[in-house]
Amino acid sequence: MKVTRMNIEEFTRPLKRKGITKIKTKIIEINLEELYIRYGADTFAVAQIPGTKGEYRYFFCCPQCGRRCRVMYEAHAVYACGTCHDIHRDTLNRTKTDCTYYWERALREARKVQPDYTPTRGGYMFGKFPNRPKRMRIATYLKHWRRFMDYMDKGDRYWIK
Asked if 59 contacts 39 with a C-beta cutoff of 8 angstroms, the reply is no
Distance CA 111, CA 28 (A): 41
Res. 111: pLDDT tops 60 = yes
The DSSP H or E segment spanning 161 is none
Give the three-state DSSP class for 83.
coil
Asked if 49 contacts 57 with a C-beta cutoff of 8 angstroms, the reply is yes
Radius of gyration for the alpha carbons in the chain, expressed in angstroms and rounded? 23
Band (92; pLDDT cuts 50, 70, 90): low
Q: Give the model confidence (pLDDT) of 27-72 as tens digits.
A: 889 988 899 899 888 899 999 999 888 888 999 999 999 999 999 9
Band (141; pLDDT cuts 50, 70, 90): very high
Distance CA 78, CA 3 (A): 10
Distance CA 4, CA 136 (A): 37
> Which of 96, 106, 107, 92 lies closest to 150, judged by CA?
106
Res. 118: pLDDT tops 60 = yes
Res. 106: pLDDT tops 70 = yes
What pLDDT, on the 0 to 100 scale, is given for residue 101? 84
> Which of 14, 13, 6, 20 lies closest to 63, judged by CA?
6
Percent of all residues in the chain with a pLDDT value above 70, rounded to a whole number: 91
pTM for this model (two decimals) = 0.54
